[in-house]
Amino acid sequence: MSTPEQTEASGRLPAHPAVPPRLARFYDKLRAPGYGGDYNPEQWGPQVHDEDIRLMREAGVSLVTLGIFGWARSEPVPGEYDFGWLDGHMDRLAGAGIAVSLATMTASPPPWLPERHPETLPVLQDGTTLYPGSRQHWCPSSPVYREHATRLVAELARHYADHPALALWHIGNEFGCHISRHCHCPVSTEAFRRWLRERYGTVDALNDAWSTDFWSQRYTGFEQILTPRTAPSFRNPIQQLDYQRFCSDELLACYLAEREVLDRITPGTPVTTNFVPVAKTLDLFSWAPHLDVVSYDSYPDPHDASAFQRTAFSYDVMRGLRGGQPWLLLEQAPSAVNWRRRNGRKPSGRMRLDSWQAVAHGADAVLFFQWRASRGGAEKFHSAMVPHGGPDTRIHREVAALGAELAGHADLLGSVPARAEVALLLDWPNWWALELDAHPADLDMLGTALAHHKPFHDASVATDVVPVTADLAPYKLLVVPNLYSVSTAAAARLAAYVHGGGTLVMSFFSGITDEHDRVHLGGYPAPFRELLGVRVEEFDPGADGSWAEVIHLEGAEAVESFDSGGPSVTRHSHGAGTAWYLGTRPRPAAMRELMDRVRAEAGVGPVLPDLPEGTYARTRVTADGTPVHVLLTEATGEVAVRRG
């Protein structure tokens, strides 16, 4: 049986208000930022297992994720559990002083589940069934899947509750990473109706919110409502938007069902799940409160010149999810992945640079997928900490060198990432709404967010990524890209922030619809007209991908104008603060110039003065109050760590 958690906080627990005390079990098992990877020993025999432990020790491995795809071995026959295959690995790892993030094994059910219960298989919008044979072939709404999953989790938790290697639970794996996240089967359809009933109460309220008088869509009962399936033309936008909300909630319910079991049986062991590279799928701000620590998988494309800044942005998102609490990089590739069309390798030094980038942005662990390259299966050409060529390889030597290096920075473990002066607003429901079809042009939330993040990144100005509900007062500057769909209440919060003295930069096509994707009437952008001192009369997207608006000044001054004459960038004093509006999508150089000006006015500077162009820095503060600056230079791969 499990023992309840020791409540005394660990000396290494980050001094951050959002850090739950149960993380002590995790931090107590580490001496420096965690280092390691996904460990899949079930793919190998005893000889390899012995070598694994020896090589892990030599490479400075302190943390591994175990058992992600272990369901088929652990429950070979329905209801008969056998963790014998795993016991020896847990014991050996404990003996070597390596902590385990133990997966709940529910990401991929064994073949007998769909064999006995074909109704657990997900169905696409066109009716196609997704069959077993790869992974994640389960319907997020299936009570049968959830029942089998939670039974397994209970057995597993009871079995390992007091195991000395257990540091952290890793629920499922990358929730929503595959197309099975959007299920349209009869069970999901029923679940969607239940979700809608709860949200709207009556079918008339739904008709109103969904604007169903358009195109004769008026419903007379919830039983008529379907998930948004393949249809002759554009589907109802709010039906699509609510379905996205529902899908995120259904996966969260799967996570919570497992979490509830773990909380009951092992209340002293912290819980996480690894998020996929910043994606549209899940509303991560609604998930994050249910994790004890945020975990992330990062796969920058070595062929993509913008990958470094994209990654910086994604790390800012991860740090922002729990209000600045350190997070864990649970997966990255030591070199190439195998799932792009062309899979570039990371040149020498790049893996080290990428890893330090994560630490600079607040990561308390650097892990890889995976420890040893698989011999068979779909991922055999994915790089690993131990390549097919064994330890005498460039990649393994670099892996071992980084392990030794990170072990020398013990004080970084649990150090608190310094708060930024700039906040960038991100809102998943807005992301979903913005990218719906039948808009003036195709819009790209991530692209726009990255374009607004880049001028700060390039100038080594730190940015926090925050939700609409965040406490904005501590920030000098708030950047709000494409906030197309916004409630009146949220809009009022932004206005209050500026009124109280903040500086805000808002960009085009913001404040257009409410949370039901109904246009805010009264002239665009109605909820922000007074704040911005402008009225937008028309949108004018160009054939070249440009965006223009016909803007009338209502108190704001024109800072820049379109060639055709009207204002393109405006500035407005509102209360004690200033609101800028970009009715356009400037090119990168112009964007940089503009943001340099905005932040100079707002009194926002870089993390460190006098950094050369191309080098950026982030700061963490250790337990004894020492600031540690990590300086990163992409072009040369240089990493410098400065204390004090």
Minimum distance from CB of 120 to Zn ion (Å)? 8
- Residues numbered 170-229 forming contacts with ligand GAL, rule: CB under 6 A: 173-174, 177
Bridge partner list, 518:
none
Instruction: Indicate which residue of 75, 258, 331, 515 is catalytic.
Output: 331
Identify what 62 binds: Zn ion, ligand GAL, none; CB under 5 to 8 Å per kind.
none
Q: How many CB atoms lie under 10 A from the CB of residue 256? A: 15
Stretch that binds Zn ion, among 139-147, 465-473, 480-488, 492-500 (CB under 5 A): 139-147
Query: Cis link prior to 370 (omega < 30° from 0)?
Result: yes
Minimum distance from CB of 178 to ligand GAL (Å)? 9
What are the strands, taking DSSP E only, across 220-270?
none
The smaller minimum CB distance to Zn ion, of residues 176 and 403, is found at: 176
**Is the distance from CB of 495 to CB of 471 less than 8 angstroms?**
no
382 binds ligand GAL (CB under 6 A): yes
Helix, strand, or coil here: 275?
A: strand
Main-chain dihedrals φ then ψ at residue 272, nearest 5 degrees: -145, 175
Size of the residue set binding ligand GAL (CB under 6 A) = 10
The smaller minimum CB distance to ligand GAL, of residues 250 and 297, is found at: 297
Rounded CA gap, 68 and 356, in Å? Answer: 26
The smaller minimum CB distance to ligand GAL, of residues 154 and 446, is found at: 446
Minimum distance from CB of 177 to ligand GAL (Å)? 5
The smaller minimum CB distance to Zn ion, of residues 130 and 426, is found at: 130
The smaller minimum CB distance to ligand GAL, of residues 69 and 81, is found at: 69
Identify what 174 binds: ligand GAL, Zn ion, none; CB under 5 to 8 Å per kind.
ligand GAL
The smaller minimum CB distance to Zn ion, of residues 183 and 203, is found at: 183
Identify what 472 binds: ligand GAL, Zn ion, none; CB under 5 to 8 Å per kind.
none
Minimum distance from CB of 601 to ligand GAL (Å)? 42
Q: How many CB atoms lie under 10 A from the CB of residue 107? A: 23
Minimum distance from CB of 138 to Zn ion (Å)? 9
Tell me, yes or no, if 174 is annotated catalytic: yes
Query: Which residue among 200, 369, 432, 581 contacts ligand GAL (CB under 6 A)?
Result: 369
**Is the distance from CB of 372 to CB of 386 less than 8 angstroms?**
yes
Tell me, yes or no, if 613 is annotated catalytic: no
Stretch that binds ligand GAL, among 146-154, 169-177, 434-442, 542-550 (CB under 6 A): 169-177
What are the strands, taking DSSP E only, across 513-576?
534-539, 549-553, 557-561, 567-574
Q: Which two tokens stand for residue 267?
A: 């209340």
Long-range contacts of 533-541 (CB under 8 A, 24+ apart): 533/570, 533/572, 533/574, 533/579, 534/567, 534/570, 534/572, 534/581, 534/583, 536/583, 539/440, 539/441, 539/509, 541/440, 541/441
Q: Which two tokens stand for residue 210?
A: 């969904």
Minimum distance from CB of 382 to ligand GAL (Å)? 5
The smaller minimum CB distance to ligand GAL, of residues 108 and 415, is found at: 108
136 binds Zn ion (CB under 5 A): no
Minimum distance from CB of 65 to ligand GAL (Å)? 9
The smaller minimum CB distance to ligand GAL, of residues 195 and 327, is found at: 327
Rounded CA gap, 123 and 138, in Å? Answer: 9
The smaller minimum CB distance to Zn ion, of residues 131 and 214, is found at: 131
Identify what 173 binds: Zn ion, ligand GAL, none; CB under 5 to 8 Å per kind.
ligand GAL
Rounded CA gap, 503 and 476, in Å? Answer: 6
What DSSP letter does each residue of 427-485 carry, written as one string? Answer: -HHHHHHHT-SSSSS---HHHHHHHHHHHHHHTT--EEEE-TTS--TT-SEEEE----B
- Residues numbered 289-308 forming contacts with ligand GAL, rule: CB under 6 A: 297, 299
Instruction: Indicate which residue of 75, 155, 174, 435 is catalytic.
Output: 174
331 binds ligand GAL (CB under 6 A): yes
Stretch that binds Zn ion, among 138-146, 225-233, 547-555, 630-638 (CB under 5 A): 138-146
Cβ-based neighbours of 314, under 8 Å, separated by 6 or more: 277, 278, 296, 298
Identify what 196 binds: ligand GAL, Zn ion, none; CB under 5 to 8 Å per kind.
none
Identify what 185 binds: ligand GAL, Zn ion, none; CB under 5 to 8 Å per kind.
Zn ion
Rounded CA gap, 465 and 315, in Å? Answer: 9
107 binds Zn ion (CB under 5 A): no
Rounded CA gap, 451 and 448, in Å? Answer: 5
**Is the distance from CB of 297 to CB of 369 less than 8 angstroms?**
yes
Exposed (0-12), middle (13-18) or buried (19+): which is 292, by Cβ within 10 Å? buried
Query: Which residue among 86, 98, 139, 252 contacts Zn ion (CB under 5 A)?
Result: 139
Size of the residue set binding Zn ion (CB under 5 A) = 6
The smaller minimum CB distance to ligand GAL, of residues 232 and 341, is found at: 341
- Residues numbered 468-497 forming contacts with ligand GAL, rule: CB under 6 A: none
- Residues numbered 187-216 forming contacts with Zn ion, rule: CB under 5 A: 187-188
Minimum distance from CB of 149 to ligand GAL (Å)? 17
Query: Which residue among 185, 291, 366, 480 contacts Zn ion (CB under 5 A)?
Result: 185
CA angle 483, 484, 489 (to 5 degrees): 70
**Is the distance from CB of 383 to CB of 333 less than 8 angstroms?**
yes
183 binds Zn ion (CB under 5 A): yes
What DSSP letter does each residue of 591-616 carry, written as one string? Answer: HHHHHHHHHHHHT---SSTTPPTTEE
Rounded CA gap, 97 and 355, in Å? Answer: 22
| CA diameter of the chain | 76
515 binds ligand GAL (CB under 6 A): no
Identify what 361 binds: Zn ion, ligand GAL, none; CB under 5 to 8 Å per kind.
none
Query: So which residues are the catalytic ones?
Result: 174, 331
Interface positions with Zn ion (CB under 5 A):
139, 141, 183, 185, 187-188
User: Which spans of this chain sit near ligand GAL (rule: CB under 6 A)?
Assistant: 173-174, 177, 297, 299, 331, 337, 369, 379, 382
